[in-house]
Amino acid sequence: MKTSVKFILNGTPVEIDFLLEKQLYPHMTVMDYLRGHAHLTGTKEGCGIGDCGACTVCLAERDVLGNTIISSVNGCLIMLGMLENKHLITIEGVAKNGKLHPVQQSMVEKRGAQCGFCSPGMVMSAYAHYLNDKPFTRPSIESSLSGNLCRCTGYESIMQALLEVEKYERTEEILELPDNSKEELFIEKDGCIYIKPIDLKSLLKYKRWYPQYTLVSGASDLSVKYKSEHPEMVSLIDISDIEELKGVSIDKHSLTIGANTSIESANESLSVYYPQVSEYLSSFASLQIRNKASMAGSVAGASPVGDIMPLLLALRAKIVLTSDKSSRTIESRDFNTSYRKHIMEDDEIIEKFIFRLPSDKQKLFCSKQSKRKDMDISSMTFCISLTIDNGIIGNVSTGFGGMAAVPCASGKIEEFLTGRSFTEDTFIMAKPLVRQEFSTISDIRGSAEYRLMVAENLLIKCFNDLK
């Protein structure tokens, strides 16, 4: 058991012992560490809650197979303790030997910046794009920059600059990683405790000992909470590197996704079998957040407008809950009990999600409604799975978000559609059931009437998209 983390920062090995470094804490954000202590001020602080991308950095780490994966992440969200065994690259580490990287060179030549405040984050997102050997096309660039906001409206010059990257000869860049430490991190400092177990067995032990401690994986929700609340005491169990919770496996009938799998990785796996999932989950926050936010983190937050749970409901996914004493498998429909509440016991964690593989006749429709395409909380979501056999609807399963205190299915709609002809008239006749099933509320993201009207209209859109 140790009190220090080792990582590489722009090619230089770093070790931080939190008991010796009086001003450093494992739960502080990487952005605060970079700007306030490492004196790398190229990483800018804009919103501080993952909404602007000015603080974007690049992170290289090992996946469960030992391969190096590279991703863009928000420095204002990930925590310093999460850098163990990783390589962090900031804007200061992109140029080599005084020579600009092709991404930087293109930005200079095409004047892809105005005030320059957001430019470092833009460059880091494009740099991760480059390192992952992705083509610089307009759609792919838009995806990689989905979490970067330019306040000076310089998007077209930025786009033109990044499209020009293709004219440069690609060079391979090897990012070194530290030796993979297998030692637990346990830090008690100033009334705060930060624990980083090395495996599932260790995690379950700590969860039983400290059931009141918050589990953190991607920190995309928790860091926002701490930014606004400034708690005096923070005690966390960091599960971000537990490999048993990240695996994806497939058998003859099902796809199993580990609870700690990132939204982006889950999207890649699910989209192979359910192509409609790709567009739906690609509207989840931004690429930087999807690279770190976990499936379990979204579900355990029990938000009534969560994007993941409506999808689980429509696909009738099962959730495996585990403690150090036992394990149980529940239907996703049984997970949420009331507003922001769920069925888990204090010593339980979400271990994995199990999805049935689709039949040839199965269809899936998913839709997220929000005020903007990227980086926005849903006003409401609607997912529905059904089969069409000789023109007859069967096996209907729905999931709604933002329509009640919890994400939920509509039994009335499922029952009504089952056994009826797959025609537009059938879905038109189902519209009144929305108002019979749901009694939603108005809030900053949309009025009750808006939500009800959109849910009704999505039934018709569902038919038109699936026909």
Q: pTM, whole model, 2 decimals?
A: 0.95
Say what the pLDDT of residue 231 is. Answer: 60
Query: Identical fold at 7-178 and 246-466?
Result: no
Distance CA 121, CA 53 (A): 6
Say what the pLDDT of residue 230 is. Answer: 64
pLDDT in tens, 61-89: 999 889 999 999 999 999 999 999 999 99
- Indicate whether 229 pLDDT > 80: no
Tell me the H-state helices in 284-347. Answer: 287-290, 295-300, 308-314
206: left (phi over 0), alpha (psi -120 to 50) or beta: alpha
- The residue-averaged pLDDT of 166-192 equals 91
- The residue-averaged pLDDT of 387-411 equals 97
Q: Are 370 and 379 in contact (CB under 8 A)?
A: yes
Homologous superfamily (CATH) of 7-178 is Beta-grasp domain (3.10.20.30)
- Domain at 246-466, CATH from 3.50.50.60, 3.30.390.50, 1.20.58.760, 3.40.50.2000: 3.30.390.50
For the chain, the average pLDDT equals 95
- Indicate whether 136 pLDDT > 80: yes
pLDDT in tens, 13-38: 999 999 999 999 999 999 999 999 99
CB atoms within 10 A of CB 149: 19
Say what the pLDDT of residue 418 is. Answer: 98
Q: What residues does each domain of the chain span?
A: 7-178, 246-466
Distance CA 155, CA 149 (A): 9
- Indicate whether 113 pLDDT > 90: no
- Report how far apart, in Å, the C-alpha atoms of 59 and of each of 9, 129, 196 are: 10, 12, 19
Assign 306 a pLDDT band (cuts: 50, 70, 90). confident
- Indicate whether 367 pLDDT > 90: yes
Residue closest to 296 by CA, chosen among 350, 348, 332: 350
- Tell whether the torsion through CA atoms of 214, 220, 226 and 232 is positive or negative: positive
Percent of the chain whose predicted confidence (pLDDT) is above 90:
87
- The residue-averaged pLDDT of 347-375 equals 94
Distance CA 448, CA 116 (A): 41
Distance CA 286, CA 52 (A): 10
Which of 146-155, 310-319, 412-421 shows the lowest per-residue confidence on average (mean pLDDT)? 146-155
